[in-house]
Structure 1
Amino acid sequence: MSSDIRIILKGFQQFLLLSVLAILPILTLAYDLIYTQHQGISEYSMTEYLQELLLLSTVLVYSYIAYKKTSHRHFAVLLAGFFCCLLIREFDALLDKIQHGFWVYPALLVALSSIIYALKDLSQTLRTFSQFVQHKHFITLNLGMVMLLVFSRIFGMGDLWEGILGEDYDRLVKRVVEEGLEVLGYTIIFYAAIGYLGAFLSKNELTTD
Protein backbone atom coordinates (compact mmCIF):
# COMPACT_ATOMS: atom_id res chain seq x y z
CA MET A 1 0.00 0.00 0.00
CA SER A 2 1.43 3.39 -0.99
CA SER A 3 2.12 6.07 1.58
CA ASP A 4 -0.50 8.35 -0.04
CA ILE A 5 -3.24 5.76 0.42
CA ARG A 6 -2.22 5.16 4.03
CA ILE A 7 -2.41 8.90 4.73
CA ILE A 8 -5.86 9.12 3.10
CA LEU A 9 -7.11 6.12 5.09
CA LYS A 10 -5.76 7.68 8.27
CA GLY A 11 -7.78 10.79 7.46
CA PHE A 12 -10.95 8.70 7.09
CA GLN A 13 -10.18 6.98 10.40
CA GLN A 14 -9.98 10.37 12.10
CA PHE A 15 -13.32 11.33 10.55
CA LEU A 16 -14.95 8.14 11.81
CA LEU A 17 -13.51 8.61 15.30
CA LEU A 18 -14.74 12.21 15.46
CA SER A 19 -18.17 11.07 14.21
CA VAL A 20 -18.41 8.51 17.01
CA LEU A 21 -17.32 11.08 19.59
CA ALA A 22 -19.83 13.62 18.24
CA ILE A 23 -22.65 11.11 18.74
CA LEU A 24 -21.86 10.73 22.45
CA PRO A 25 -23.58 13.98 23.55
CA ILE A 26 -26.74 12.98 21.67
CA LEU A 27 -26.76 9.51 23.22
CA THR A 28 -26.34 10.79 26.77
CA LEU A 29 -29.00 13.47 26.32
CA ALA A 30 -31.37 10.90 24.84
CA TYR A 31 -30.71 8.58 27.77
CA ASP A 32 -31.30 11.32 30.34
CA LEU A 33 -34.43 12.79 28.75
CA ILE A 34 -36.09 9.84 27.02
CA TYR A 35 -34.98 6.57 28.58
CA THR A 36 -35.01 7.78 32.20
CA GLN A 37 -37.94 10.14 31.45
CA HIS A 38 -36.47 12.90 33.61
CA GLN A 39 -37.83 16.40 33.11
CA GLY A 40 -34.41 17.96 32.97
CA ILE A 41 -30.69 17.31 33.26
CA SER A 42 -29.54 16.99 36.85
CA GLU A 43 -26.01 17.19 38.23
CA TYR A 44 -26.14 13.39 38.50
CA SER A 45 -27.14 12.65 34.91
CA MET A 46 -25.24 10.68 32.26
CA THR A 47 -24.62 13.95 30.42
CA GLU A 48 -22.87 15.45 33.44
CA TYR A 49 -20.95 12.23 34.06
CA LEU A 50 -19.70 12.24 30.47
CA GLN A 51 -18.50 15.84 30.83
CA GLU A 52 -16.59 14.93 33.97
CA LEU A 53 -15.12 11.79 32.38
CA LEU A 54 -13.91 13.71 29.32
CA LEU A 55 -12.36 16.41 31.50
CA LEU A 56 -10.70 13.88 33.80
CA SER A 57 -9.28 12.03 30.79
CA THR A 58 -7.92 15.31 29.39
CA VAL A 59 -6.25 16.11 32.73
CA LEU A 60 -4.70 12.63 32.84
CA VAL A 61 -3.33 12.97 29.29
CA TYR A 62 -1.45 16.18 30.04
CA SER A 63 -0.40 14.88 33.45
CA TYR A 64 1.08 11.81 31.79
CA ILE A 65 3.04 13.98 29.34
CA ALA A 66 4.26 16.11 32.26
CA TYR A 67 5.37 12.99 34.10
CA LYS A 68 7.16 11.37 31.15
CA LYS A 69 8.72 14.35 29.38
CA THR A 70 10.82 16.75 31.43
CA SER A 71 11.28 19.18 28.54
CA HIS A 72 7.50 19.72 28.39
CA ARG A 73 6.76 19.33 32.09
CA HIS A 74 6.16 22.92 33.18
CA PHE A 75 3.75 23.75 30.37
CA ALA A 76 2.02 20.36 30.58
CA VAL A 77 1.43 20.94 34.31
CA LEU A 78 -0.08 24.32 33.43
CA LEU A 79 -2.45 22.70 30.93
CA ALA A 80 -3.37 19.90 33.32
CA GLY A 81 -4.02 22.48 36.04
CA PHE A 82 -6.29 24.53 33.79
CA PHE A 83 -8.46 21.57 32.85
CA CYS A 84 -8.42 20.35 36.45
CA CYS A 85 -9.98 23.70 37.43
CA LEU A 86 -12.74 23.12 34.88
CA LEU A 87 -13.24 19.64 36.32
CA ILE A 88 -13.55 21.02 39.84
CA ARG A 89 -16.13 23.52 38.54
CA GLU A 90 -18.19 20.61 37.20
CA PHE A 91 -18.37 19.24 40.76
CA ASP A 92 -19.85 22.45 42.12
CA ALA A 93 -23.13 20.78 43.10
CA LEU A 94 -21.27 18.25 45.24
CA LEU A 95 -18.95 20.86 46.76
CA ASP A 96 -21.89 23.18 47.48
CA LYS A 97 -22.86 20.70 50.19
CA ILE A 98 -19.82 21.95 52.11
CA GLN A 99 -20.51 25.63 51.37
CA HIS A 100 -22.12 27.46 48.48
CA GLY A 101 -19.44 28.32 45.94
CA PHE A 102 -16.86 26.18 47.76
CA TRP A 103 -15.50 24.89 44.42
CA VAL A 104 -13.66 28.22 44.02
CA TYR A 105 -11.20 27.38 46.81
CA PRO A 106 -9.81 24.06 45.48
CA ALA A 107 -9.85 25.53 41.96
CA LEU A 108 -7.79 28.52 43.11
CA LEU A 109 -5.36 26.21 44.89
CA VAL A 110 -4.85 24.13 41.74
CA ALA A 111 -4.57 27.23 39.54
CA LEU A 112 -2.01 28.95 41.74
CA SER A 113 0.02 25.76 42.18
CA SER A 114 0.22 25.07 38.44
CA ILE A 115 1.01 28.71 37.59
CA ILE A 116 3.76 28.91 40.22
CA TYR A 117 5.27 25.67 38.97
CA ALA A 118 5.17 26.89 35.36
CA LEU A 119 6.88 30.13 36.38
CA LYS A 120 9.76 28.23 37.99
CA ASP A 121 11.14 27.67 34.49
CA LEU A 122 9.48 30.40 32.47
CA SER A 123 11.77 29.97 29.46
CA GLN A 124 10.87 26.28 29.17
CA THR A 125 7.18 27.05 29.61
CA LEU A 126 7.23 29.71 26.87
CA ARG A 127 9.28 27.54 24.54
CA THR A 128 6.94 24.57 24.96
CA PHE A 129 3.90 26.85 24.67
CA SER A 130 5.28 28.13 21.36
CA GLN A 131 5.73 24.56 20.12
CA PHE A 132 2.22 23.68 21.29
CA VAL A 133 0.68 26.61 19.39
CA GLN A 134 2.38 25.39 16.21
CA HIS A 135 1.13 21.83 16.70
CA LYS A 136 -1.60 20.70 14.30
CA HIS A 137 -3.95 19.80 17.16
CA PHE A 138 -3.82 23.28 18.67
CA ILE A 139 -6.50 24.51 16.27
CA THR A 140 -8.65 21.55 17.35
CA LEU A 141 -8.19 22.55 20.96
CA ASN A 142 -9.11 26.14 20.09
CA LEU A 143 -12.27 24.93 18.38
CA GLY A 144 -13.26 22.96 21.47
CA MET A 145 -12.55 25.89 23.78
CA VAL A 146 -14.57 28.30 21.63
CA MET A 147 -17.43 25.78 21.53
CA LEU A 148 -17.31 25.39 25.32
CA LEU A 149 -16.65 28.90 26.58
CA VAL A 150 -18.18 31.11 23.88
CA PHE A 151 -20.64 29.41 21.52
CA SER A 152 -22.46 27.27 24.12
CA ARG A 153 -22.89 30.28 26.41
CA ILE A 154 -24.21 32.61 23.70
CA PHE A 155 -26.35 30.02 21.90
CA GLY A 156 -27.77 28.88 25.25
CA MET A 157 -28.92 32.36 26.32
CA GLY A 158 -32.46 32.36 27.68
CA ASP A 159 -33.39 35.58 25.87
CA LEU A 160 -32.39 34.02 22.54
CA TRP A 161 -34.59 30.96 23.05
CA GLU A 162 -37.47 33.03 24.39
CA GLY A 163 -37.29 35.02 21.16
CA ILE A 164 -37.21 31.86 19.05
CA LEU A 165 -39.95 29.91 20.85
CA GLY A 166 -42.11 32.79 22.07
CA GLU A 167 -44.99 31.58 24.21
CA ASP A 168 -43.79 27.99 23.79
CA TYR A 169 -40.51 28.78 25.56
CA ASP A 170 -39.44 26.01 27.91
CA ARG A 171 -36.24 26.38 29.93
CA LEU A 172 -35.56 22.67 29.34
CA VAL A 173 -34.93 23.40 25.66
CA LYS A 174 -32.30 26.00 26.54
CA ARG A 175 -30.72 23.61 29.07
CA VAL A 176 -30.56 20.73 26.59
CA VAL A 177 -28.95 22.90 23.91
CA GLU A 178 -26.39 24.34 26.31
CA GLU A 179 -25.47 21.01 27.89
CA GLY A 180 -25.22 19.30 24.50
CA LEU A 181 -22.86 21.96 23.19
CA GLU A 182 -20.77 21.77 26.36
CA VAL A 183 -20.33 18.01 25.98
CA LEU A 184 -19.39 18.49 22.34
CA GLY A 185 -16.83 21.11 23.37
CA TYR A 186 -15.34 18.78 25.98
CA THR A 187 -15.26 16.00 23.38
CA ILE A 188 -13.28 18.12 20.91
CA ILE A 189 -10.89 19.21 23.69
CA PHE A 190 -10.33 15.56 24.62
CA TYR A 191 -9.76 14.65 20.96
CA ALA A 192 -7.08 17.36 20.74
CA ALA A 193 -5.39 16.00 23.87
CA ILE A 194 -5.39 12.47 22.44
CA GLY A 195 -3.86 13.79 19.22
CA TYR A 196 -1.13 15.56 21.17
CA LEU A 197 -0.51 12.39 23.19
CA GLY A 198 -0.27 10.38 19.96
CA ALA A 199 2.43 12.75 18.71
CA PHE A 200 4.24 12.35 22.01
CA LEU A 201 4.11 8.55 21.88
CA SER A 202 5.24 8.41 18.25
CA LYS A 203 8.11 10.81 19.06
CA ASN A 204 7.79 12.23 15.58
CA GLU A 205 6.35 15.65 16.31
CA LEU A 206 7.57 16.55 19.78
CA THR A 207 11.14 17.44 20.47
CA THR A 208 13.02 14.92 22.59
CA ASP A 209 15.09 15.56 25.68
Structure 2
Amino acid sequence: MPHELPPGQPWPIGFAATCLRATLYILFIAALAQGAYLEARYFPEARFSERGFTELAESGLLAIAAALLLYARQALRQLPTVTLLMLAFVLSAFIREQDAWLDAYVFDGAWQLLVTLVIVPCLYLVIRARRRFLAEFAAYANSFSFGLFAAGVLTTLIFSRLYGRGDFWEATMGEHYVRAVKDASEEVVELFGFALILIAVIELTLLARRWYLARRAG
Protein backbone atom coordinates (compact mmCIF):
# COMPACT_ATOMS: atom_id res chain seq x y z
CA MET A 1 0.00 0.00 0.00
CA PRO A 2 1.26 3.54 -0.67
CA HIS A 3 2.65 5.65 2.13
CA GLU A 4 2.96 2.82 4.64
CA LEU A 5 5.61 3.10 7.30
CA PRO A 6 8.85 1.30 6.34
CA PRO A 7 9.54 -2.18 7.68
CA GLY A 8 11.56 -2.44 10.85
CA GLN A 9 14.81 -3.77 9.37
CA PRO A 10 15.70 -3.31 5.69
CA TRP A 11 18.09 -5.66 3.98
CA PRO A 12 21.62 -5.09 5.37
CA ILE A 13 24.42 -3.45 3.38
CA GLY A 14 27.41 -5.67 2.67
CA PHE A 15 30.93 -4.62 3.60
CA ALA A 16 32.07 -4.56 -0.02
CA ALA A 17 29.16 -2.29 -1.00
CA THR A 18 29.96 0.02 1.93
CA CYS A 19 33.60 0.27 0.87
CA LEU A 20 32.59 1.00 -2.72
CA ARG A 21 30.24 3.77 -1.70
CA ALA A 22 32.82 5.25 0.67
CA THR A 23 35.38 5.28 -2.13
CA LEU A 24 32.97 6.99 -4.51
CA TYR A 25 32.09 9.61 -1.91
CA ILE A 26 35.79 10.30 -1.26
CA LEU A 27 36.40 10.76 -4.99
CA PHE A 28 33.33 12.98 -5.22
CA ILE A 29 34.51 15.27 -2.40
CA ALA A 30 38.02 15.35 -3.86
CA ALA A 31 36.62 16.33 -7.29
CA LEU A 32 34.70 19.23 -5.77
CA ALA A 33 37.79 20.44 -3.92
CA GLN A 34 39.84 20.19 -7.10
CA GLY A 35 37.19 22.10 -9.00
CA ALA A 36 37.35 24.94 -6.47
CA TYR A 37 41.15 24.95 -6.77
CA LEU A 38 41.03 25.14 -10.57
CA GLU A 39 38.48 27.94 -10.36
CA ALA A 40 40.74 29.96 -8.07
CA ARG A 41 43.86 29.33 -10.13
CA TYR A 42 42.69 29.59 -13.74
CA PHE A 43 39.43 31.58 -13.78
CA PRO A 44 40.04 34.83 -11.89
CA GLU A 45 37.28 36.66 -13.77
CA ALA A 46 34.62 34.29 -12.41
CA ARG A 47 36.33 33.33 -9.17
CA PHE A 48 33.69 32.43 -6.55
CA SER A 49 31.04 34.46 -8.32
CA GLU A 50 27.62 33.35 -9.58
CA ARG A 51 29.35 32.30 -12.82
CA GLY A 52 32.10 30.35 -11.12
CA PHE A 53 32.46 26.63 -10.53
CA THR A 54 31.75 26.73 -6.81
CA GLU A 55 28.44 28.59 -7.02
CA LEU A 56 27.25 26.55 -10.00
CA ALA A 57 28.29 23.31 -8.29
CA GLU A 58 26.31 24.28 -5.18
CA SER A 59 23.19 24.80 -7.29
CA GLY A 60 23.79 21.53 -9.11
CA LEU A 61 24.20 19.56 -5.88
CA LEU A 62 20.96 20.98 -4.50
CA ALA A 63 19.06 20.32 -7.74
CA ILE A 64 20.15 16.67 -7.77
CA ALA A 65 19.24 16.30 -4.09
CA ALA A 66 15.77 17.73 -4.75
CA ALA A 67 15.22 15.33 -7.67
CA LEU A 68 16.24 12.33 -5.54
CA LEU A 69 13.93 13.37 -2.72
CA LEU A 70 11.05 13.63 -5.17
CA TYR A 71 11.92 10.15 -6.44
CA ALA A 72 11.98 8.69 -2.91
CA ARG A 73 8.68 10.36 -2.05
CA GLN A 74 6.70 10.00 -5.27
CA ALA A 75 8.09 6.85 -6.91
CA LEU A 76 9.25 4.77 -3.95
CA ARG A 77 6.56 6.24 -1.63
CA GLN A 78 8.74 6.05 1.47
CA LEU A 79 8.87 8.57 4.35
CA PRO A 80 6.52 11.03 2.61
CA THR A 81 6.44 13.64 5.39
CA VAL A 82 10.14 13.41 6.26
CA THR A 83 11.15 13.72 2.61
CA LEU A 84 8.70 16.60 2.17
CA LEU A 85 10.36 18.54 4.99
CA MET A 86 13.82 17.76 3.62
CA LEU A 87 12.68 18.78 0.15
CA ALA A 88 11.45 22.11 1.50
CA PHE A 89 14.89 22.80 2.98
CA VAL A 90 16.76 21.74 -0.16
CA LEU A 91 14.53 23.75 -2.50
CA SER A 92 14.79 26.79 -0.24
CA ALA A 93 18.58 26.53 -0.26
CA PHE A 94 18.54 26.16 -4.05
CA ILE A 95 16.39 29.28 -4.44
CA ARG A 96 18.64 31.16 -2.02
CA GLU A 97 21.63 30.31 -4.20
CA GLN A 98 19.90 32.05 -7.13
CA ASP A 99 19.39 35.30 -5.21
CA ALA A 100 21.66 37.40 -7.41
CA TRP A 101 19.95 36.26 -10.62
CA LEU A 102 16.47 36.65 -9.14
CA ASP A 103 17.23 40.13 -7.80
CA ALA A 104 18.68 41.18 -11.15
CA TYR A 105 16.15 39.64 -13.55
CA VAL A 106 12.92 39.29 -11.52
CA PHE A 107 12.78 41.80 -8.66
CA ASP A 108 14.70 42.61 -5.52
CA GLY A 109 13.68 40.17 -2.80
CA ALA A 110 12.18 37.62 -5.19
CA TRP A 111 14.04 34.77 -3.53
CA GLN A 112 12.47 35.51 -0.14
CA LEU A 113 9.00 35.32 -1.67
CA LEU A 114 9.76 32.05 -3.45
CA VAL A 115 11.24 30.50 -0.31
CA THR A 116 8.12 31.50 1.63
CA LEU A 117 5.93 29.87 -1.04
CA VAL A 118 7.91 26.65 -0.59
CA ILE A 119 8.29 26.60 3.19
CA VAL A 120 4.79 27.59 4.33
CA PRO A 121 2.72 24.91 2.53
CA CYS A 122 5.30 22.20 3.28
CA LEU A 123 5.33 23.05 6.97
CA TYR A 124 1.54 23.12 6.99
CA LEU A 125 1.36 19.63 5.49
CA VAL A 126 3.98 18.25 7.89
CA ILE A 127 2.32 19.79 10.94
CA ARG A 128 -1.05 18.52 9.77
CA ALA A 129 0.41 14.99 9.57
CA ARG A 130 2.63 15.41 12.64
CA ARG A 131 1.87 11.99 14.12
CA ARG A 132 2.91 10.33 10.91
CA PHE A 133 5.96 12.57 10.72
CA LEU A 134 7.08 11.53 14.21
CA ALA A 135 6.64 7.86 13.34
CA GLU A 136 8.62 8.27 10.10
CA PHE A 137 11.29 10.30 11.86
CA ALA A 138 11.74 7.52 14.43
CA ALA A 139 12.40 5.12 11.53
CA TYR A 140 14.84 7.51 9.86
CA ALA A 141 16.68 9.15 12.75
CA ASN A 142 19.05 6.25 13.46
CA SER A 143 20.22 5.98 9.86
CA PHE A 144 23.57 7.02 8.38
CA SER A 145 21.67 9.35 6.08
CA PHE A 146 20.17 11.36 8.92
CA GLY A 147 23.55 11.93 10.53
CA LEU A 148 25.01 13.15 7.27
CA PHE A 149 22.04 15.39 6.55
CA ALA A 150 22.26 16.96 10.00
CA ALA A 151 26.00 17.51 9.52
CA GLY A 152 25.38 19.15 6.16
CA VAL A 153 22.73 21.47 7.54
CA LEU A 154 24.95 22.48 10.49
CA THR A 155 27.86 23.09 8.11
CA THR A 156 25.91 25.30 5.71
CA LEU A 157 23.61 27.15 8.09
CA ILE A 158 25.83 27.57 11.14
CA PHE A 159 29.52 26.89 10.62
CA SER A 160 29.98 28.48 7.18
CA ARG A 161 28.22 31.66 8.34
CA LEU A 162 30.29 31.98 11.53
CA TYR A 163 33.50 30.96 9.77
CA GLY A 164 32.85 33.50 7.02
CA ARG A 165 32.39 36.49 9.32
CA GLY A 166 34.41 39.50 8.25
CA ASP A 167 35.42 40.20 11.87
CA PHE A 168 36.97 36.74 12.17
CA TRP A 169 39.04 37.14 9.01
CA GLU A 170 40.05 40.71 9.85
CA ALA A 171 41.27 39.47 13.24
CA THR A 172 43.10 36.56 11.56
CA MET A 173 44.75 38.48 8.70
CA GLY A 174 45.13 41.86 10.38
CA GLU A 175 46.39 44.57 8.05
CA HIS A 176 46.73 41.99 5.28
CA TYR A 177 42.99 41.30 5.23
CA VAL A 178 41.70 40.38 1.77
CA ARG A 179 37.97 39.99 1.33
CA ALA A 180 38.42 37.55 -1.56
CA VAL A 181 40.08 35.08 0.82
CA LYS A 182 37.17 35.33 3.25
CA ASP A 183 34.61 34.84 0.46
CA ALA A 184 36.49 31.86 -0.99
CA SER A 185 36.76 30.17 2.40
CA GLU A 186 33.08 30.62 3.16
CA GLU A 187 31.95 29.41 -0.26
CA VAL A 188 34.14 26.30 -0.20
CA VAL A 189 32.91 25.35 3.28
CA GLU A 190 29.34 25.83 2.05
CA LEU A 191 30.09 23.67 -0.99
CA PHE A 192 31.28 20.89 1.32
CA GLY A 193 28.10 21.20 3.40
CA PHE A 194 25.92 20.87 0.30
CA ALA A 195 27.98 17.85 -0.76
CA LEU A 196 27.23 16.22 2.60
CA ILE A 197 23.53 16.94 2.08
CA LEU A 198 23.60 15.32 -1.37
CA ILE A 199 25.41 12.24 -0.04
CA ALA A 200 22.80 12.04 2.74
CA VAL A 201 19.99 12.18 0.20
CA ILE A 202 21.68 9.50 -1.91
CA GLU A 203 21.87 7.29 1.17
CA LEU A 204 18.23 8.05 1.95
CA THR A 205 17.22 7.09 -1.57
CA LEU A 206 19.13 3.80 -1.32
CA LEU A 207 17.55 3.14 2.08
CA ALA A 208 14.09 3.95 0.72
CA ARG A 209 14.68 1.59 -2.19
CA ARG A 210 15.66 -1.22 0.18
CA TRP A 211 12.48 -0.58 2.16
CA TYR A 212 10.47 -0.54 -1.06
CA LEU A 213 11.96 -3.85 -2.25
CA ALA A 214 11.59 -5.43 1.20
CA ARG A 215 7.89 -4.54 1.24
CA ARG A 216 7.35 -5.93 -2.27
CA ALA A 217 9.23 -9.12 -1.36
CA GLY A 218 7.23 -9.50 1.86
Same fold by TM-score greater than 0.5: yes
Structure 2 residue 177 is matched with structure 1 residue 169? yes
Alignment of 1:52-71 (within 5 A): 52-70=59-77
Q: What TM-score do you get using the length of structure 1 for normalisation? A: 0.87
Q: Which residue of 1 aligns with 2:115?
A: 107
Partner AA of 2:206 in structure 1: G
What is the TM-score when the length of structure 2 is the normalising length?
Answer: 0.84
Residue 147 of structure 1 corresponds to: 155
Letter of the structure 2 residue corresponding to residue 112 of structure 1: V
Supply the RMSD in Å over aligned alpha carbons.
Answer: 2.3
C-alpha deviation, 1:71, in angstroms: 5.3
Provide the residue aligned with 1:90 in structure 2: 97
* CA deviation after TM superposition for structure 1 residue 52, in Å: 0.4
Aligned residue pairs total: 204
Cα shift readout 1:60-80 (whole Å, capped 9, x = no counterpart): 111111102445223322211
Matched residue type, 2:34: L
Contact kept? 2:72, 2:78, Cα under 8 Å? no
User: SS of 1:134's equivalent?
Assistant: coil
Distance in 1, Cα, partners of 2:31 & 2:151:
18
Return the letter of the residue paired with 2:108.
Answer: H
- Find the counterpart in structure 1 of residue 79 from structure 2: 72
Q: Is the 8 A contact 1:32 1:38 kept in 2?
A: no
Q: What runs of 5+ residues in structure 2 fail to find an aligned partner?
A: 1-12
Q: Distance in 2 between matches of 1:194 and 1:132?
A: 14
Alignment partner, residue 34 of structure 1: 41
The gaps in structure 1 that reach 5 residues or longer are 1-5
Matched, 1:47 2:49: no
Shift in alpha-carbon separation, 1:148–1:60, aligned structure 2, 3 A:
same
| Residue of structure 1 in register with 2:145 after alignment | 137
